[in-house]
A and B are shown apart, each in its own frame.
Chain A
Amino acid sequence: MKHARIALIYLIAAVAAFVCGVLFGAVGIPFSEFVQDGALNPIVELRLVRTASAAVAGASLAVSGLVFQAVLRNALAEPFLLGVSGGAGLGAAGAILLGFSAWGFMSVPLFALLGAVAANLLVFVSVRRRTAEELLLGGVMIGTLASSLLMVLITFSHSHDMAGVIWWMLGSVQNVDPARQLAPAAVVLAAVLVFLLFRAGDVDLLTFGPEYAWNHGVNARVMTVLLLALASLLAAVTVSMAGIIGFCGLVVPHIVRRLHGGSHRRILIPCALAGAAFLMLADVLGRVVSPVRELPVGMVTAAVGCPVFLWLLNRGRAGS
């Protein structure tokens, strides 16, 4: 019952953040004007999509980070470790700078997804033993290579293209297509969550290391690769939808684990809900603080998350 109560508190927080996301922005809309002439107010409709996108992106990044930190047994692990951000950035920048964005709205997200998946596959193919440590190092190398190639592309680009790339890299949930981006991302998130709920015991055991997990009935090598691939898929789908949003996948799982500890079966749903609430509120903040020219959500997550994280870190140490 205690677990259910914790999850309920996070659910209430996420619902409250969703309501804030729909209510607040550059223009205030009273409840009475939500529906006009039998149709949903267009601004409310836009806010519903972007807030839902923030929820899915935040939950995906938080769950991805939770898995990375558990499997790699490293509190500094985050969703983009296996080259996802570098690959996605390269894919998106390639689409913008080489003129593929003229093919249509979906070309940039699609190229970003392809770049992320390609970088990820390259990591898994190029690392022979595929232990957590070697995958991590391989990911850092491939990510760095992709980032360097991205810099080369930017160096030879026009200034207006460069602005587009940089804006995309800062992360935003402003222009998400509900059918072609949000819905698939939500399906991937739901599928990964169901899988993780069933295999949370494996994740618990892997936090003690692969040999310990093996000795308790987990095929550690297979589960390590599978879990890291799923966590990277979550990150890749999110990055193709909303660009590179840092900090959420690093800070949220860390805070939830610090507050509630224990089994991943217990903290998985709270972590997803906390990630969703965090990114929805960060999006609202970006809209409210600077209504004319919105702050990119990735900047807000870093600005808010960093001091909160440091405060929690020091508070925990003082008490321990």
Chain B
Amino acid sequence: MKLTAETLVYTHPGASAPVLNGVSLEIAPGAIAALLGRNGSGKSTLVRLLSGYLRPDSGTVTLDGRPVSEWSASERVRRLAVVQQHVPLPLTDYTVREAVAMGLTGVSRFAASLTPEQSARLDETLELLDLTPFADRPCRTLSGGERQRVSAATALVRSPGLLLLDEPTSAADPAATIRIMGLLRRLAPEVGVLIATHDLQLALEYAGYAMLLHEGQIFASGAPGDVLTPEQLAPVYGCTFRRYDCEHRPVILPE
């Protein structure tokens, strides 16, 4: 399964200049791809374009060679799952189990209840993301980090072929971050994974491929160790960085 974007151009309504101007990339199983860039660089917009939620001014997004807009909604979500950065709180008090089950019933909405296989898959996903103790709690009572895990579980429960995650660990504590990223790393050989993140260390640690988004274009891409260097990061973030080696692992910090 493969998601390909070619020369995407997108301008926000009312803006005079495009936020993305000729972005091309490919997401496929193999390793986690990390998308980095400063605030407002267009990372979330790019995720929305890749998911088909936004339509580009020009350029194409194809899922397995077919434009993403041409897939039926149910076929699309079976293949491609997206975890948003911020999920608004719903008006209704859904429990965690009900919210995660929507990842399954969203695909087959007419089923009033889950099949035994779907229920087993739901329990397994809750366990994977350490959500079993919260399963019957209303989503509204969860912390930001817990809600992020619910959001990730809702995407993972239907075993998609491609996963796009926008800041999936921004509110997670270190233990939850390790759990989520470890899970994504285990999935990556068979599932195409793209994470948009601000966390340089997270990208260095877990990603197999990194892309730096700057001034509407992919400024640099390649192995994280080659892309996330002080020389490449300085013009993107507008500050200087220093790289350290800590027990043979690279650490990069702003100065």
Residues of A within 8 A of B (CB): 69-70, 73-75, 129, 198-202, 204-205, 207-209, 211-212, 214-219, 257, 261-265
Contact = CB atoms under 8 A, between A and B. Distances in A.
B51 A261 contact: no
B206 to A, nearest CB: 23
Contacts of B154: 216
A74 B87 CA distance: 16
B138 interface: yes
Contacts of A261: 92-94, 138
Interface stretch (B99-107, B121-129, B179-187, B222-230): B99-107
Contacts of B95: 262
Contact of B87 (A209, A214, A219): A209
B159 interface: no
28 contacts: A70-B92, A73-B90, A74-B91, A75-B91, A201-B105, A202-B109, A204-B92, A207-B90, A207-B91, A207-B92, A208-B87, A208-B90, A209-B88, A211-B48, A211-B84, A215-B82, A215-B84, A215-B155, A216-B103, A216-B107, A217-B74, A217-B77, A218-B73, A219-B73, A257-B91, A261-B138, A262-B95, A263-B94
B91 A70 contact: yes
B87 A212 contact: yes
B198 interface: no
Contact of A216 (B52, B93, B94, B106): B106
Nearest to B111: A201
- Ranked nearest first, the 4 interchain pairs of A and B with the lowest CB-CB distance are A216-B106, A201-B109, A217-B77, A207-B90
A265 B82 CA distance: 25
B98 interface: yes
Contacts of B73: 217-219
Interface residues of B, number: 32
Nearest to A129: B13
Interface of B: 13, 48, 51-53, 73-74, 76-77, 81-82, 84, 87-88, 90-95, 98, 102-103, 105-107, 109-110, 112, 138, 154-155
A302 to B, nearest CB: 23
- Report which residue of A70, A198, A208, A265 has the largest number of chain B beta carbons within 10 angstroms of its beta carbon: A208
Contacts of B112: 265
Contacts of A199: 109
Given A211-B84, A215-B81, A262 B94 contact: yes
Nearest to B82: A215
B88 A215 contact: no
Nearest to B107: A217
Contacts of B155: 215
